[in-house]
Structure 1
Protein backbone atom coordinates (compact mmCIF):
# COMPACT_ATOMS: atom_id res chain seq x y z
CA UNK A 1 0.00 0.00 0.00
CA UNK A 2 1.26 3.49 -0.87
CA UNK A 3 2.40 5.68 2.02
CA UNK A 4 -0.12 8.36 3.02
CA UNK A 5 0.64 11.90 1.89
CA UNK A 6 -0.07 15.31 3.41
CA UNK A 7 -0.11 17.98 0.69
CA UNK A 8 0.30 21.51 2.04
CA UNK A 9 -0.42 24.85 0.51
CA UNK A 10 2.55 27.17 1.17
CA UNK A 11 1.70 30.83 1.90
CA UNK A 12 -0.67 31.10 4.84
CA UNK A 13 -0.49 27.36 5.53
CA UNK A 14 3.11 26.20 5.94
CA UNK A 15 4.66 29.64 6.23
CA UNK A 16 3.59 33.09 7.36
CA UNK A 17 5.06 34.93 4.39
CA UNK A 18 2.76 37.97 4.37
CA UNK A 19 5.31 40.36 5.91
CA UNK A 20 7.84 39.77 3.12
CA UNK A 21 5.27 39.62 0.32
CA UNK A 22 3.63 42.88 1.39
CA UNK A 23 6.99 44.57 1.98
CA UNK A 24 7.92 43.63 -1.58
CA UNK A 25 4.61 44.93 -2.89
CA UNK A 26 5.03 48.25 -1.08
CA UNK A 27 8.54 48.61 -2.45
CA UNK A 28 7.47 47.91 -6.03
CA UNK A 29 4.28 49.98 -6.22
CA UNK A 30 5.94 53.40 -5.61
CA UNK A 31 8.71 52.54 -8.08
CA UNK A 32 6.04 52.42 -10.77
CA UNK A 33 4.09 55.50 -9.74
CA UNK A 34 1.48 53.93 -7.46
CA UNK A 35 0.86 54.46 -3.76
CA UNK A 36 2.03 52.00 -1.14
CA UNK A 37 -0.75 50.32 0.83
CA UNK A 38 -0.08 49.22 4.40
CA UNK A 39 -3.59 47.96 5.18
CA UNK A 40 -3.39 44.44 6.71
CA UNK A 41 -6.35 43.44 4.52
CA UNK A 42 -3.90 43.23 1.62
CA UNK A 43 -3.15 39.75 2.95
CA UNK A 44 -6.43 38.67 1.36
CA UNK A 45 -4.76 39.00 -2.06
CA UNK A 46 -2.08 36.42 -1.26
CA UNK A 47 -2.38 32.91 -2.65
CA UNK A 48 -2.94 33.41 -6.37
CA UNK A 49 0.55 34.45 -7.44
CA UNK A 50 2.49 37.72 -7.48
CA UNK A 51 0.75 39.25 -10.49
CA UNK A 52 -2.65 38.75 -8.88
CA UNK A 53 -1.41 40.41 -5.68
CA UNK A 54 -0.27 43.45 -7.67
CA UNK A 55 -3.60 43.63 -9.49
CA UNK A 56 -5.44 43.22 -6.17
CA UNK A 57 -3.54 46.18 -4.69
CA UNK A 58 -4.19 48.36 -7.74
CA UNK A 59 -7.89 47.52 -7.67
CA UNK A 60 -8.06 48.67 -4.05
CA UNK A 61 -6.67 52.04 -5.20
CA UNK A 62 -9.04 52.23 -8.18
CA UNK A 63 -5.87 52.43 -10.24
CA UNK A 64 -5.35 51.06 -13.73
CA UNK A 65 -2.18 49.71 -15.29
CA UNK A 66 -1.45 48.56 -18.81
CA UNK A 67 -0.32 45.01 -19.52
CA UNK A 68 3.16 46.40 -20.15
CA UNK A 69 3.17 48.13 -16.75
CA UNK A 70 1.91 44.98 -15.05
CA UNK A 71 4.62 42.93 -16.74
CA UNK A 72 7.28 45.36 -15.53
CA UNK A 73 5.92 45.42 -11.97
CA UNK A 74 5.68 41.63 -11.95
CA UNK A 75 9.34 41.25 -12.98
CA UNK A 76 10.40 43.85 -10.42
CA UNK A 77 8.34 42.11 -7.73
CA UNK A 78 9.90 38.71 -8.40
CA UNK A 79 13.44 40.10 -8.45
CA UNK A 80 13.03 42.03 -5.20
CA UNK A 81 11.17 39.21 -3.47
CA UNK A 82 13.79 36.62 -4.38
CA UNK A 83 16.47 38.84 -2.81
CA UNK A 84 14.38 39.41 0.34
CA UNK A 85 12.40 36.20 0.55
CA UNK A 86 12.88 35.22 4.18
CA UNK A 87 13.52 38.44 6.06
CA UNK A 88 10.44 37.94 8.25
CA UNK A 89 8.87 34.78 6.80
CA UNK A 90 8.54 32.02 9.38
CA UNK A 91 7.13 28.51 9.68
CA UNK A 92 3.86 28.44 11.57
CA UNK A 93 4.12 27.33 15.21
CA UNK A 94 3.82 23.60 15.73
CA UNK A 95 4.64 22.69 12.13
CA UNK A 96 7.99 21.02 12.80
CA UNK A 97 6.51 18.89 15.56
CA UNK A 98 3.63 17.94 13.24
CA UNK A 99 6.06 16.83 10.53
CA UNK A 100 7.93 14.72 13.07
CA UNK A 101 4.72 13.10 14.36
CA UNK A 102 3.47 12.25 10.91
CA UNK A 103 6.83 11.09 9.59
CA UNK A 104 7.14 8.71 12.54
CA UNK A 105 3.70 7.36 11.62
CA UNK A 106 4.79 6.69 8.02
CA UNK A 107 3.42 9.79 6.30
CA UNK A 108 5.17 11.75 3.57
CA UNK A 109 4.76 15.40 2.56
CA UNK A 110 4.36 17.56 -0.55
CA UNK A 111 3.59 21.18 -1.40
CA UNK A 112 0.99 22.43 -3.88
CA UNK A 113 1.15 26.22 -4.22
CA UNK A 114 0.44 28.96 -6.75
CA UNK A 115 3.80 30.56 -5.92
CA UNK A 116 6.29 29.78 -8.68
CA UNK A 117 8.23 26.60 -8.03
CA UNK A 118 11.73 28.08 -7.81
CA UNK A 119 10.69 30.63 -5.17
CA UNK A 120 8.72 27.99 -3.28
CA UNK A 121 11.77 25.75 -3.09
CA UNK A 122 13.92 28.72 -2.06
CA UNK A 123 11.59 29.53 0.86
CA UNK A 124 11.69 25.93 2.04
CA UNK A 125 15.50 25.81 1.77
CA UNK A 126 15.91 29.09 3.65
CA UNK A 127 13.68 27.78 6.45
CA UNK A 128 15.56 24.48 6.61
CA UNK A 129 12.71 22.14 5.66
CA UNK A 130 13.16 21.52 1.93
CA UNK A 131 14.38 17.98 2.55
CA UNK A 132 11.12 17.09 4.30
CA UNK A 133 9.03 17.33 1.12
CA UNK A 134 8.85 14.66 -1.57
CA UNK A 135 7.52 17.12 -4.16
CA UNK A 136 6.96 20.84 -4.64
CA UNK A 137 4.41 21.73 -7.32
CA UNK A 138 4.39 25.46 -7.94
CA UNK A 139 2.11 27.66 -9.97
CA UNK A 140 4.37 27.23 -13.00
CA UNK A 141 5.20 23.52 -12.60
CA UNK A 142 2.29 22.43 -14.79
CA UNK A 143 0.26 24.08 -17.51
CA UNK A 144 -2.49 24.57 -14.92
CA UNK A 145 -2.70 25.55 -11.27
CA UNK A 146 -5.12 25.73 -8.35
CA UNK A 147 -8.11 25.74 -8.29
CA UNK A 148 -7.72 23.27 -11.16
CA UNK A 149 -7.64 19.87 -9.41
CA UNK A 150 -5.04 18.63 -11.89
CA UNK A 151 -2.48 20.74 -10.02
CA UNK A 152 -3.11 18.87 -6.77
CA UNK A 153 -3.27 15.49 -8.48
CA UNK A 154 -0.03 16.32 -10.27
CA UNK A 155 1.65 17.14 -6.96
CA UNK A 156 0.48 13.80 -5.56
CA UNK A 157 1.88 11.99 -8.60
CA UNK A 158 5.21 13.86 -8.29
CA UNK A 159 5.46 12.55 -4.73
CA UNK A 160 4.88 8.99 -6.02
CA UNK A 161 1.72 8.76 -3.96
CA UNK A 162 -1.93 8.12 -4.82
CA UNK A 163 -5.03 10.30 -4.30
CA UNK A 164 -6.72 7.55 -2.28
CA UNK A 165 -4.05 8.04 0.40
CA UNK A 166 -3.70 11.83 0.29
CA UNK A 167 -4.95 14.83 2.28
CA UNK A 168 -4.80 18.52 1.38
CA UNK A 169 -4.03 21.17 4.01
CA UNK A 170 -4.83 24.76 3.09
CA UNK A 171 -6.00 28.17 4.25
CA UNK A 172 -8.36 29.39 1.52
CA UNK A 173 -11.42 28.68 -0.59
CA UNK A 174 -9.04 27.97 -3.48
CA UNK A 175 -7.46 25.11 -1.54
CA UNK A 176 -10.83 23.69 -0.52
CA UNK A 177 -12.25 23.92 -4.04
CA UNK A 178 -9.13 22.28 -5.48
CA UNK A 179 -9.20 19.37 -3.04
CA UNK A 180 -12.92 18.80 -3.39
CA UNK A 181 -12.72 18.77 -7.18
CA UNK A 182 -9.92 16.20 -6.92
CA UNK A 183 -11.92 14.07 -4.50
CA UNK A 184 -9.28 14.54 -1.78
CA UNK A 185 -10.22 15.30 1.85
CA UNK A 186 -9.19 18.77 2.99
CA UNK A 187 -8.02 20.17 6.31
CA UNK A 188 -8.46 23.91 6.74
CA UNK A 189 -6.32 26.13 8.96
CA UNK A 190 -7.89 29.18 10.57
CA UNK A 191 -4.70 31.27 10.74
CA UNK A 192 -3.99 31.86 7.05
CA UNK A 193 -4.95 34.42 4.43
CA UNK A 194 -8.60 34.35 3.47
CA UNK A 195 -11.32 37.02 3.36
CA UNK A 196 -13.87 34.37 4.37
CA UNK A 197 -13.20 32.67 7.73
CA UNK A 198 -12.18 29.07 7.23
CA UNK A 199 -14.90 27.89 9.62
CA UNK A 200 -17.50 29.25 7.18
CA UNK A 201 -15.97 27.37 4.25
CA UNK A 202 -16.61 23.98 5.85
CA UNK A 203 -13.40 21.95 5.54
CA UNK A 204 -13.45 18.29 6.53
CA UNK A 205 -11.42 19.26 9.58
CA UNK A 206 -10.65 22.72 10.97
CA UNK A 207 -7.38 23.46 12.79
CA UNK A 208 -6.62 26.48 14.93
CA UNK A 209 -3.13 25.13 15.61
CA UNK A 210 -0.90 22.41 14.21
CA UNK A 211 -0.62 21.04 17.74
CA UNK A 212 -4.18 19.71 17.32
CA UNK A 213 -3.55 17.37 14.39
CA UNK A 214 -2.65 13.74 15.00
CA UNK A 215 -1.99 10.95 12.47
CA UNK A 216 -5.03 9.03 13.71
CA UNK A 217 -7.27 11.97 12.78
CA UNK A 218 -5.76 12.14 9.31
CA UNK A 219 -6.14 8.40 8.80
CA UNK A 220 -9.84 8.72 9.61
CA UNK A 221 -10.23 11.33 6.87
CA UNK A 222 -8.35 9.19 4.37
CA UNK A 223 -10.50 6.19 5.25
CA UNK A 224 -13.59 8.22 4.37
CA UNK A 225 -12.13 9.22 1.03
CA UNK A 226 -13.62 6.16 -0.66
CA UNK A 227 -16.94 8.01 -0.68
CA UNK A 228 -15.45 10.88 -2.73
CA UNK A 229 -15.45 10.39 -6.52
CA UNK A 230 -12.35 11.57 -8.35
CA UNK A 231 -13.31 14.04 -11.08
CA UNK A 232 -10.01 15.05 -12.63
CA UNK A 233 -6.71 13.77 -13.95
CA UNK A 234 -3.22 14.74 -12.84
CA UNK A 235 -1.47 17.49 -14.75
CA UNK A 236 1.72 16.69 -16.63
CA UNK A 237 4.83 18.60 -15.65
CA UNK A 238 6.01 21.27 -18.08
CA UNK A 239 9.26 20.61 -19.95
CA UNK A 240 12.13 22.26 -18.07
CA UNK A 241 12.59 24.83 -20.82
CA UNK A 242 9.00 25.98 -20.35
CA UNK A 243 9.24 26.59 -16.61
CA UNK A 244 9.78 30.25 -15.74
Structure 2
Protein backbone atom coordinates (compact mmCIF):
# COMPACT_ATOMS: atom_id res chain seq x y z
CA UNK A 1 0.00 0.00 0.00
CA UNK A 2 2.78 2.43 0.96
CA UNK A 3 4.62 1.63 -2.26
CA UNK A 4 1.47 2.42 -4.26
CA UNK A 5 1.06 5.75 -2.46
CA UNK A 6 4.73 6.59 -3.06
CA UNK A 7 4.37 5.80 -6.76
CA UNK A 8 1.27 7.99 -7.03
CA UNK A 9 3.08 10.84 -5.30
CA UNK A 10 6.08 10.41 -7.60
CA UNK A 11 3.85 10.62 -10.66
CA UNK A 12 2.24 13.79 -9.31
CA UNK A 13 5.65 15.32 -8.65
CA UNK A 14 6.81 14.53 -12.19
CA UNK A 15 3.59 15.96 -13.63
CA UNK A 16 3.93 19.07 -11.45
CA UNK A 17 7.52 19.55 -12.55
CA UNK A 18 6.48 19.30 -16.20
CA UNK A 19 3.67 21.83 -15.75
CA UNK A 20 5.82 24.38 -13.98
CA UNK A 21 8.79 23.98 -16.29
CA UNK A 22 6.56 24.31 -19.34
CA UNK A 23 4.77 27.37 -18.00
CA UNK A 24 7.60 29.30 -16.38
CA UNK A 25 10.80 27.61 -17.52
CA UNK A 26 11.89 27.28 -13.90
CA UNK A 27 11.97 24.68 -11.15
CA UNK A 28 8.80 23.50 -9.48
CA UNK A 29 7.46 23.63 -5.95
CA UNK A 30 6.30 20.61 -3.91
CA UNK A 31 2.92 19.23 -4.90
CA UNK A 32 0.17 20.26 -2.47
CA UNK A 33 -3.19 20.49 -4.23
CA UNK A 34 -4.61 22.80 -1.57
CA UNK A 35 -3.62 25.02 1.31
CA UNK A 36 -4.23 24.01 4.89
CA UNK A 37 -7.54 25.59 5.94
CA UNK A 38 -7.63 28.55 8.28
CA UNK A 39 -8.25 27.29 11.82
CA UNK A 40 -11.02 29.84 12.39
CA UNK A 41 -12.71 29.39 9.00
CA UNK A 42 -16.49 29.86 9.01
CA UNK A 43 -17.42 28.78 5.50
CA UNK A 44 -21.15 28.93 6.09
CA UNK A 45 -20.93 32.43 7.51
CA UNK A 46 -18.71 33.62 4.66
CA UNK A 47 -21.04 32.19 2.01
CA UNK A 48 -24.02 33.90 3.63
CA UNK A 49 -22.20 37.23 3.90
CA UNK A 50 -21.00 37.09 0.28
CA UNK A 51 -24.52 36.32 -0.94
CA UNK A 52 -25.89 39.27 1.02
CA UNK A 53 -23.16 41.52 -0.40
CA UNK A 54 -23.93 40.40 -3.93
CA UNK A 55 -27.63 41.07 -3.38
CA UNK A 56 -26.75 44.60 -2.23
CA UNK A 57 -24.57 45.06 -5.32
CA UNK A 58 -27.36 43.87 -7.61
CA UNK A 59 -29.76 46.30 -5.95
CA UNK A 60 -27.44 49.31 -6.04
CA UNK A 61 -25.88 48.59 -9.47
CA UNK A 62 -22.92 50.96 -9.00
CA UNK A 63 -21.79 50.22 -12.56
CA UNK A 64 -24.92 51.64 -14.20
CA UNK A 65 -23.60 55.19 -14.75
CA UNK A 66 -20.73 53.71 -16.77
CA UNK A 67 -21.72 50.28 -18.12
CA UNK A 68 -25.20 49.35 -19.31
CA UNK A 69 -24.66 46.54 -21.83
CA UNK A 70 -23.64 43.22 -20.27
CA UNK A 71 -25.07 39.73 -19.78
CA UNK A 72 -24.06 38.70 -16.28
CA UNK A 73 -22.69 40.06 -13.05
CA UNK A 74 -19.40 38.25 -12.51
CA UNK A 75 -19.03 37.93 -8.77
CA UNK A 76 -16.49 35.37 -7.59
CA UNK A 77 -15.21 31.81 -7.66
CA UNK A 78 -13.41 29.50 -5.27
CA UNK A 79 -13.14 29.06 -1.51
CA UNK A 80 -14.91 31.84 0.45
CA UNK A 81 -12.49 31.26 3.34
CA UNK A 82 -9.36 30.96 1.20
CA UNK A 83 -5.96 31.91 2.53
CA UNK A 84 -4.97 33.18 -0.94
CA UNK A 85 -7.03 35.59 -3.06
CA UNK A 86 -6.49 36.67 -6.66
CA UNK A 87 -7.92 40.01 -7.80
CA UNK A 88 -8.21 40.87 -11.49
CA UNK A 89 -9.44 44.02 -13.17
CA UNK A 90 -12.70 43.19 -14.97
CA UNK A 91 -14.62 40.40 -16.73
CA UNK A 92 -14.08 39.72 -20.42
CA UNK A 93 -16.44 38.27 -23.01
CA UNK A 94 -16.18 34.68 -21.76
CA UNK A 95 -16.67 35.74 -18.16
CA UNK A 96 -19.67 37.86 -19.11
CA UNK A 97 -21.16 34.86 -20.89
CA UNK A 98 -20.60 32.38 -18.05
CA UNK A 99 -20.91 34.66 -15.03
CA UNK A 100 -17.61 33.47 -13.52
CA UNK A 101 -14.24 35.24 -13.29
CA UNK A 102 -11.22 34.09 -15.28
CA UNK A 103 -12.75 31.45 -17.54
CA UNK A 104 -11.39 32.68 -20.90
CA UNK A 105 -7.85 32.36 -22.26
CA UNK A 106 -6.42 34.48 -19.45
CA UNK A 107 -8.34 32.35 -16.97
CA UNK A 108 -6.94 29.17 -18.44
CA UNK A 109 -3.45 30.57 -17.97
CA UNK A 110 -4.30 31.61 -14.41
CA UNK A 111 -5.43 28.04 -13.73
CA UNK A 112 -2.05 26.82 -14.94
CA UNK A 113 -0.29 29.38 -12.76
CA UNK A 114 -2.25 28.21 -9.72
CA UNK A 115 -1.51 24.59 -10.60
CA UNK A 116 2.17 25.41 -11.02
CA UNK A 117 2.11 26.76 -7.46
CA UNK A 118 1.02 23.30 -6.35
CA UNK A 119 -2.50 24.53 -5.59
CA UNK A 120 -5.97 24.06 -6.99
CA UNK A 121 -8.38 26.72 -8.22
CA UNK A 122 -10.90 25.44 -5.68
CA UNK A 123 -8.54 26.25 -2.80
CA UNK A 124 -8.18 29.96 -3.65
CA UNK A 125 -10.66 32.83 -4.01
CA UNK A 126 -10.94 34.79 -7.26
CA UNK A 127 -12.67 38.10 -7.91
CA UNK A 128 -12.39 41.22 -10.06
CA UNK A 129 -12.47 44.91 -9.24
CA UNK A 130 -15.30 45.47 -11.74
CA UNK A 131 -18.20 43.04 -11.58
CA UNK A 132 -19.48 43.59 -15.12
CA UNK A 133 -17.72 43.67 -18.47
CA UNK A 134 -16.63 47.10 -19.73
CA UNK A 135 -17.60 47.84 -23.34
CA UNK A 136 -15.07 46.32 -25.71
CA UNK A 137 -13.01 44.94 -22.81
CA UNK A 138 -11.71 48.45 -22.21
CA UNK A 139 -9.33 49.11 -19.33
CA UNK A 140 -11.42 50.17 -16.31
CA UNK A 141 -11.54 53.90 -15.78
CA UNK A 142 -10.77 55.56 -12.46
CA UNK A 143 -14.48 56.33 -12.03
CA UNK A 144 -15.51 52.73 -12.67
CA UNK A 145 -12.92 51.46 -10.22
CA UNK A 146 -13.99 53.87 -7.48
CA UNK A 147 -17.64 52.86 -7.91
CA UNK A 148 -16.85 49.16 -7.57
CA UNK A 149 -14.03 49.28 -5.03
CA UNK A 150 -16.21 49.32 -1.88
CA UNK A 151 -17.71 45.97 -2.87
CA UNK A 152 -14.29 44.45 -3.55
CA UNK A 153 -13.07 45.64 -0.16
CA UNK A 154 -16.12 44.08 1.48
CA UNK A 155 -15.34 40.80 -0.29
CA UNK A 156 -11.82 40.96 1.11
CA UNK A 157 -13.14 41.64 4.62
CA UNK A 158 -15.44 38.62 4.42
CA UNK A 159 -12.90 36.20 2.94
CA UNK A 160 -10.02 37.55 5.07
CA UNK A 161 -7.24 36.08 2.92
CA UNK A 162 -3.73 35.92 4.30
CA UNK A 163 -2.29 37.11 0.98
CA UNK A 164 -3.75 38.86 -2.08
CA UNK A 165 -2.26 38.69 -5.57
CA UNK A 166 -3.19 41.76 -7.62
CA UNK A 167 -3.28 40.71 -11.26
CA UNK A 168 -2.46 43.61 -13.53
CA UNK A 169 -2.01 47.32 -13.01
CA UNK A 170 -5.70 48.35 -12.69
CA UNK A 171 -6.18 45.86 -9.84
CA UNK A 172 -2.94 46.97 -8.20
CA UNK A 173 -3.89 50.63 -8.53
CA UNK A 174 -7.25 49.94 -6.94
CA UNK A 175 -5.83 48.00 -4.02
CA UNK A 176 -2.73 50.10 -3.39
CA UNK A 177 -3.85 53.58 -4.44
CA UNK A 178 -0.75 53.99 -6.59
CA UNK A 179 0.06 55.32 -10.04
CA UNK A 180 3.45 53.63 -10.28
CA UNK A 181 4.26 51.20 -13.08
CA UNK A 182 4.02 47.46 -12.46
CA UNK A 183 7.78 47.10 -12.82
CA UNK A 184 8.25 49.36 -9.79
CA UNK A 185 5.68 47.76 -7.47
CA UNK A 186 5.90 44.03 -8.20
CA UNK A 187 8.16 41.53 -6.42
CA UNK A 188 7.47 43.02 -3.00
CA UNK A 189 4.56 43.04 -0.60
CA UNK A 190 2.40 46.06 0.14
CA UNK A 191 0.13 46.14 3.18
CA UNK A 192 -3.48 47.29 2.87
CA UNK A 193 -5.75 47.92 5.82
CA UNK A 194 -9.11 46.16 5.49
CA UNK A 195 -10.32 47.10 8.95
CA UNK A 196 -8.81 49.23 11.72
CA UNK A 197 -5.67 47.41 12.82
CA UNK A 198 -6.10 44.54 10.33
CA UNK A 199 -3.86 44.47 7.26
CA UNK A 200 -3.35 42.05 4.38
CA UNK A 201 -0.19 41.82 2.24
CA UNK A 202 -0.69 42.36 -1.49
CA UNK A 203 1.67 41.10 -4.18
CA UNK A 204 1.15 42.88 -7.52
CA UNK A 205 2.15 40.94 -10.61
CA UNK A 206 1.47 40.89 -14.32
CA UNK A 207 -2.00 39.92 -15.52
CA UNK A 208 -2.27 36.57 -17.35
CA UNK A 209 -3.60 38.47 -20.38
CA UNK A 210 -0.33 40.42 -20.47
CA UNK A 211 1.62 37.16 -20.44
CA UNK A 212 -0.48 35.90 -23.34
CA UNK A 213 0.56 38.97 -25.31
CA UNK A 214 4.19 38.87 -24.20
CA UNK A 215 5.01 35.30 -23.23
CA UNK A 216 8.76 35.77 -22.96
CA UNK A 217 11.09 33.85 -20.64
CA UNK A 218 11.86 37.12 -18.86
CA UNK A 219 8.20 37.92 -18.11
CA UNK A 220 7.44 34.34 -17.12
CA UNK A 221 10.31 34.37 -14.64
CA UNK A 222 9.14 37.68 -13.17
CA UNK A 223 5.68 36.28 -12.48
CA UNK A 224 7.09 33.07 -11.07
CA UNK A 225 9.38 35.04 -8.76
CA UNK A 226 6.33 36.93 -7.47
CA UNK A 227 4.34 33.73 -6.94
CA UNK A 228 7.22 32.07 -5.12
CA UNK A 229 7.25 34.99 -2.68
CA UNK A 230 3.52 34.45 -2.17
CA UNK A 231 4.06 30.77 -1.42
CA UNK A 232 6.80 31.62 1.04
CA UNK A 233 4.55 34.15 2.77
CA UNK A 234 1.88 31.45 3.09
CA UNK A 235 4.42 29.11 4.62
CA UNK A 236 4.36 26.48 1.89
* TM-score, normalisation: structure 1: 0.33
The structure, 1 or 2, with the larger RCO (C-alpha pairs under 8 Å, 6+ apart) is: 1
* TM-score, normalisation: structure 2: 0.33
